[in-house]
Amino acid sequence: MKTYILTIVLIPFSLFSQESDINNDTKEVESVIHKLFNGMKNSDSVAVNSIFYSNASMRTSFVNKTTGKKIVHSGNLDDFLKAVGTPKEDIWDERISNLVIHVDDNLAQAWMNYSFYLNDTFSHCGVNSIQLIRDETGWKISDIADTRRKSNCE
């Protein structure tokens, strides 16, 4: 009987602990996402590089406005970091909304809408899908894919 009562009493604490871990994981993943876009805005390729695996995959999906053909462009992290860190007159301001994060153990998925601005001028919008994996150093981006369009934005 004592074991039964102890189990009934401890189950809520166990569930609270798991929920707390998930909330902490979600906050850590969100922090990585914001570090990416703040690094882009500040042309800080060192900060951006610190949150990616060196072999991360990067893809963009868009429709060629001339041919109507669906295009998937694969990029690489080195080129992205060079573009972020190269001095430029324009500020890359990627504004995100509707961020949804799912976490299971050491795997996380982040999905968000975005609008991209050069300084204060709208350039394009779409959705980012970011896959993250946690290792002994923390959460890192392993895959990032986005869509791009000029209309039908939120």
The confidence score (pLDDT) of residue 6 equals 46
Contact by Cβ (8 Å): 101, 30: yes
Domain boundaries, the chain: 2-147
* C-alpha distances in Å from residue 90, one per residue of 15, 37, 62, 87: 48, 15, 23, 9
Q: Does residue 2 register a pLDDT over 90?
A: no
Q: Does residue 17 register a pLDDT over 90?
A: no
- Return the closest-CA partner of residue 113 out of 100, 103, 132, 102: 100
What fold, for 2-147? Nuclear Transport Factor 2; Chain: A, (3.10.450)
The confidence score (pLDDT) of residue 153 equals 87
- Residue 152 confidence class, pLDDT cut points 50, 70, 90: confident
| Of 81 and 9, the one with more pLDDT | 81
Read off the pTM: 0.83
pLDDT tens across 124-148, in order? Answer: 999 999 999 999 999 999 999 999 9
* C-alpha distances in Å from residue 73, one per residue of 60, 61, 67: 5, 6, 16
Give the three-class secondary structure for 116: strand
The confidence score (pLDDT) of residue 15 equals 52
Q: What percent of the chain has pLDDT over 70?
A: 85
